[in-house]
Structure 1
Amino acid sequence: MTATTNTSANRNTNKEAFLNTIASKLGRERRIEVQRPAIRELIPNSYGPLTQDDLVEMLKEQCFFIHTQVIETTRELLQRTLDDLLEANGGGTVMTSGDPRFREYGLAFPDAAVWEEAAGRAENIRRAESANTAIVFADCALAESGTVVVESRPDQGRSLHFLPAHYIAVIEREKLVLRSTDAAAAFNRRIQAGEPVGSSINFISGPSNSADIEMKLVVGVHGPLRATYVLITG
């Protein structure tokens, strides 16, 4: 225990000496207290004031470049919109997250598998591997990059986003923000408020794309072949 304490003390002494030397070379005193900028200020918004309508248009434009379909729908037509997409994907097995918003929106998919903690990790992964289409709700979406942000939670594991051939992310209009710093600020507020946050945060921008070999774009190497964002606008 004494050896460990001494080692730690030596490291702190060396650190302080190093930092003091740097400050001396710069010709100024050590700055002990540093005022960190707010997360949102790390990348200034060069667009000026943006409305939610502006963000919607930005999302649709960006998704064109990342090979992702964006479909606008309403709360009342959400079930029909998703059913039509499942049919367009060729039917097959559907897997959803256990997100309570499926119940809140009155969504039902007969015989669909659900990611649930009680099933266990191995069984949930097996279900995801067997599913043709995954349907999830985005925790938020980034208009600038066409990215959906999803937490890993007991009712929604990472494999659900990557193993099925088709991926559908439902985005609520009010969850659409400009960029990653806005999402990070929202998560930071939750953490400061003592709210639980997922074990990992996944940023997903469309289907799997890889151009590592001879600069030829290949879709679906390490993720879904097709991604669709369903945006609830009313």
Structure 2
Amino acid sequence: MTASNRDSFLNTIASKLGRERIYDVQRPDMQDLMPGNSSSLTTGELVDILKEQCFFIHTQFIESTPEILQRTLNDLIDTNGGGAVITSGDTRFAEYGLKFAAGLVWEEAAGREQNIMRSESANTAIIFADYALAESGTIVVESRPDQGRSLHFLPAHYIAVIEKKRLVLRSTQAAADLNRRIEAGEPLGSSINFISGPSNSADIEMQLVVGVHGPLRATYVLI
């Protein structure tokens, strides 16, 4: 929508409402939108909440450390049956010194179709969560040139590495930080995905089926 089209559209809305158009709009303080006193929770308490919620969303929860993260991920890959592994192009893989045999990477230079083919051929996907919402067992991930949407949905097994500093109680805390980044002029992905465990679907008889629209198995690795 162009600026002129936007003005025409908003002027029409104001006219239909029978009032003058409002130009001076104050954005709300995101802190005011946060329900409850979540800031009083310790990291340990957030971990306990996330761990409990993972049970309800059929997601494996593992605690590890940066020092043994490679070994933890290798063990999970073996448990998943081996095969090709695809990772995002997130710089944290290099920061933690992570490398995988039969490893594929979602990278901008490969192009969309090639990256989708890589995701389809991979048995396991490994990503770093941008945020983790303890209350719902949800990870938040951006779609970026180095991390497309298909990466999260096409492989049969999905592993999300969660740094403790990325763990918050609920979506309002993640939204507040995203808002801060927007106001600071930082770039954001083309979309924000909220993923809660493996694919789950239920028919009219409420029979749960796992893996219809995404991974059969999801694992959260907290470091």
Match of 1:19 in 2: 17
Say if 1:33 and 1:108 are closer, same or farther in 2 by CA, change over 3 A. Answer: same
Deviation at 1:191, TM superposition (A): 1.2
- 1:164 and 2:150 equivalent? no
Q: In structure 2, what is the Cα distance between the partners aligned to 1:201 and 1:12?
A: 27
In structure 2, runs of 5+ residues without a counterpart are none
Task: Within 5 Å, give how 1:207-218 maps onto structure 2.
Answer: 207-218=198-209
- 1:60 and 2:51 equivalent? yes
In structure 1, runs of 5+ residues without a counterpart are 1-6, 22-28
What are the superposed Cα offsets for residues 87-108 of structure 1, whole Å, 9 maximum, x if unpaired?
A: 1101111111111100100111
Q: TM-score, normalised by structure 1?
A: 0.86
Q: In structure 1, what is the Cα distance between the partners aligned to 2:177 and 2:7?
A: 37
Task: Within 5 Å, give how 1:92-171 maps onto structure 2.
Answer: 92-171=83-162
Match of 1:24 in 2: none
Deviation at 1:43, TM superposition (A): 4.2
- 1:85 and 2:85 equivalent? no
Deviation at 1:47, TM superposition (A): 5.4
Match of 2:187 in 1: 196
Say if 1:11 and 1:122 are closer, same or farther in 2 by CA, change over 3 A. Answer: closer
Name the SS for the 1:196 alignment partner.
coil
Aligned length: 220
Q: In structure 1, what is the Cα distance between the partners aligned to 2:149 and 2:119?
A: 10
Higher-Rg structure is 1
Q: Is the CA contact (8 Å cut-off) linking 1:116 and 1:154 kept in structure 2?
A: yes
Q: In structure 2, what is the Cα distance between the partners aligned to 1:104 and 1:78?
A: 12
Say if 1:13 and 1:171 are closer, same or farther in 2 by CA, change over 3 A. Answer: closer
Q: Is the CA contact (8 Å cut-off) linking 2:131 and 2:139 kept in structure 1?
A: yes
Q: In structure 1, what is the Cα distance between the partners aligned to 2:9 and 2:149?
A: 38
Q: Is the CA contact (8 Å cut-off) linking 1:20 and 1:30 kept in structure 2?
A: no
Deviation at 1:125, TM superposition (A): 0.3
**Equivalent position to 1:224, from 206, 215, 218:** 215
Tell me the amino acid that sits aligned with residue 75 of structure 1. Answer: P
Identity of aligned residues (%): 70
Deviation at 1:10, TM superposition (A): 7.6
- 1:74 and 2:65 equivalent? yes
Q: In structure 1, what is the Cα distance between the partners aligned to 2:214 and 2:145?
A: 21
Q: In structure 2, what is the Cα distance between the partners aligned to 1:213 and 1:184?
A: 34
